[in-house]
């Protein structure tokens, strides 16, 4: 029964990974013959300042989207789990960006951020906040944050749905018993809601972190392509640029292996820390 899934995983994940690991030890432009390069590709990567800038941006990207997506999604879940007027429409509206492609969202927000006819700057002018107008995608100070916000906007609805499901699964008996004992709203949140949501929080945070580390190529490529001056360069964009624009497949695969190790260690440590409490049960 597991054979089809195992075969697909092997063909599309394990085999490409092993091939990439092998290529990382060769000098290859992707077309001609391959020549053995040993660990030189890794040596070149460690000396590449742009790569480490991309790694720094990648981890900043992952950290910010993880924090803000989960905070906003959890806050929305607390509101929309209740029976309020228009709840279903609000849920659908917030979830809708999840179903839109990165291409559509990237172009949409590039227009919104446009310094000439963009809606954001027009809104700031209309409310008398001209002093807040900046080059959202052209200024290296704000470009990465601007792209990060788009990712948060797209995926908050997805995490909100998971949090709503988690909240709905908590038995009301806990809250009734706590009310009888005179527990305050904060005590109910701290001692009932958050512990009962622990598994949902772990899943959401882990998905946010891994997505922020390895699934940010599309939105960055469409909106800024790593500019200005590598201010929004993330590991994925620089790896693909090295492979296909600079025709250095060996170095690009070495970068991929380093990113894999970093992501694996970071995800493993995060999972151990977040599930430490439940492991004692």
Coil, strand or helix at 47: coil
C-beta separation of 188 from 74 below 8 A: no
Note the pLDDT of residue 277.
54
Residues sharing a CB contact under 8 Å with residue 159, sequence separation 6 or more, in sequence order: 69, 70, 73, 74, 204, 207, 208
The encoded tokens of residue 151 equal 């990712």
The encoded tokens of residue 106 equal 């990237």
User: What DSSP element (H or E) covers 35?
Assistant: strand 35-36
Instruction: Indicate the pLDDT class of residue 269, thresholds 50, 70 and 90.
Output: confident
Note the pLDDT of residue 52.
96
C-beta separation of 62 from 209 below 8 A: yes
Residue 141 has pLDDT above 50, yes or no: yes
CA atoms within 13 A on the CB side of 263: 21
Mean pLDDT within 58-76: 96
Note the pLDDT of residue 276.
67
The encoded tokens of residue 153 equal 């906007």
pLDDT tens digits for range 183-216:
998 999 999 999 999 999 999 998 999 889 988 9
C-beta separation of 234 from 220 below 8 A: yes
Mean pLDDT within 74-86: 94
| Alpha-carbon separation of residue 142 from 2, 40, 78, 99, 197 (angstroms) | 47, 36, 31, 27, 34
Lowest mean pLDDT among 61-65, 221-225, 238-242, 261-265: 261-265
- Helix 49-80 vs helix 198-214: crossing angle, to nearest 10: 150
| The CATH fold of domain 58-279 | MetI-like fold (1.10.3720)
Note the pLDDT of residue 91.
96
pTM of the model: 0.90
**Smallest Cα–Cα separation from 253: which of 61, 26, 15?**
26
* 66-82 residues labelled b (16+ CB within 10 A) or e (exposed): bebbbebbbebbeebbe
pLDDT tens digits for range 217-235:
999 999 999 999 999 999 9
Q: Which residue has the higher pLDDT, 263 or 93?
A: 93
Share of the chain above pLDDT 90, in %: 84
Mean pLDDT within 153-178: 95
Coil, strand or helix at 86: coil
Residue 241 has pLDDT above 70, yes or no: yes
| Alpha-carbon separation of residue 244 from 31, 47, 251 (angstroms) | 11, 20, 11
Note the pLDDT of residue 272.
81
């Amino acid at each position: 029964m597991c054979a089809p899934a195992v075969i697909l995983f092997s063909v599309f994940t394990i085999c490409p990974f092993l091939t990439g690991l092998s290529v990382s030890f060769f000098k290859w432009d992707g077309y001609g013959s391959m020549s053995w390069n040993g660990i030189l590709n890794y040596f070149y990567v460690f000396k590449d300042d742009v790569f480490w800038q991309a790694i720094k941006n990648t981890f900043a990207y992952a950290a910010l989207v993880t924090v803000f997506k989960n905070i906003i999604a959890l806050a929305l879940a607390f509101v929309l789990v209740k029976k309020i007027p228009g709840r279903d429409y609000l849920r659908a509206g917030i979830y809708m960006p999840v179903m839109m492609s990165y291409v559509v969202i990237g172009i949409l927000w590039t227009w919104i951020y446009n310094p000439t006819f963009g809606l954001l700057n027009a809104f700031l002018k209309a409310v008398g906040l001209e002093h807040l107008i900046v080059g959202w995608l052209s200024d290296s100070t704000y470009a990465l944050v601007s792209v990060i916000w788009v990712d948060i906007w797209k995926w908050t609805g997805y995490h909100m749905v998971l949090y709503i499901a988690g909240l709905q699964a908590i038995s009301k008996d806990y809250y009734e018993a706590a009310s009888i004992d005179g527990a305050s709203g904060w005590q109910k949140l701290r001692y009932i809601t958050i512990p009962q949501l622990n598994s949902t929080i772990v899943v959401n945070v882990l998905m946010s972190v891994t997505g922020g580390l390895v699934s940010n190529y599309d939105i960055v490529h469409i909106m800024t392509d790593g500019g200005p001056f590598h201010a929004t360069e993330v590991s994925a964009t620089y790896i693909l640029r090295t492979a296909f624009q600079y025709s250095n497949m060996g170095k690009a695969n070495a970068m991929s292996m380093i990113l894999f190790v970093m992501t694996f260690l970071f995800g493993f440590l995060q999972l151990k820390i977040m599930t430490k409490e439940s492991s004692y049960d």
